[in-house]
Amino acid sequence: MVKYGMDPMNAIMAATRVSAECLAVDQQVGTLEPGRLADLVVLDGDPLVDITATRKVKAVMKGGRVVCEGGEIVDRFHAPRR
């Protein structure tokens, strides 16, 4: 999306909040708010400055638990399926 002119913040929102709204799951996911599932990624860089930072994932949290860190699965029970 950024490649075709969308600014990074709008691209990130389109991939998260707006997608959750379109799928009617925005009461559970899409934004970080109390009472919602805490699924997120920790990046090595600022995607608002360089959108390719979204490819540099340092950790993954699913349901508020760290499941992948440094490229290693640390919680197999809650890890995303490959």
Enter the pTM of the model: 0.77
C-alpha–C-alpha distance, residues 52 and 50, integer Å? 5
Which ranges of 1-82 does DSSP label H, i.e. alpha helix?
8-13, 19-22
Alpha-carbon Rg of the chain, whole angstroms? 14
Nearest by Cα to 59 from 75, 45, 43: 43
Nearest by Cα to 12 from 35, 41, 37, 33: 41
pLDDT digits (tens, 9 = 90+) for 14-58: 999 999 999 999 999 999 999 888 889 999 999 999 999 999 999
The pLDDT value recorded for residue 77 is 67
